[in-house]
Amino acid sequence: MRNLLEMIYEHQLLRSKERNLDIPLDDGERVRLLGLRRLLQGEVPDTRQRELARVRMALAVQFTRPGGFEAGEIRNVSGGGFMILARKPQEVGTRIIVRIEDARTGTEYVFPCVVRWRSSRGPGRMGLELDGVPNRSELFEEASGVWSRSLSFGAQRSDPMVA
């Protein structure tokens, strides 16, 4: 899972550098972006509307919603976004932040997204498109095992929380 999230993170970071921050990519970054795009396309590109392959997985996430936060579960990922099961899918066009925690490696990924579709019946599902500069950080200091940040959204504590 980490390798896939790392590739999606780096791909979106490089795309956002050009698109959102107006910072031109150097030759090495441009080659890396093209290589990541090829990897995320997979062996056989989806011939429908998708240009990046989907990978099915079940992964707990948190995301923002008006007035708070909600938990959900990613059911598939691609280099362009996620499909999330949620109790109350957000309205199409809503901008949200998705937080993915990889407890195995102690890494947190935060992806800005836009809701592109939502289910009208059946289980609550929404399709999200990555939209903006992502963030990746470590959840704890490896040497001490002390958490360096809270596991919840909101104001960050200035002192580490001891487990």
pTM of the full structure: 0.77
Cα gap 131→112, rounded to integer Å = 5
CB 106 within 8 A of CB 60: no
Cα gap 128→138, rounded to integer Å = 24
Could you tell me the CATH superfamily of domain 2-138? Answer: predicted glycosyltransferase like domains (2.40.10.220)
Any idea where the domains of the chain sit in the sequence? 2-138
pLDDT of 117-163, one tens digit each? 998 777 799 999 999 999 999 876 555 555 455 444 444 444 444 44
In 6-133, beta strands by DSSP E = 55-65, 68-78, 81-86, 95-102, 107-118, 125-130
Question: 82 is written with which tokens?
Answer: 């996620």
pLDDT of 72-92, one tens digit each? 999 999 889 999 999 989 999
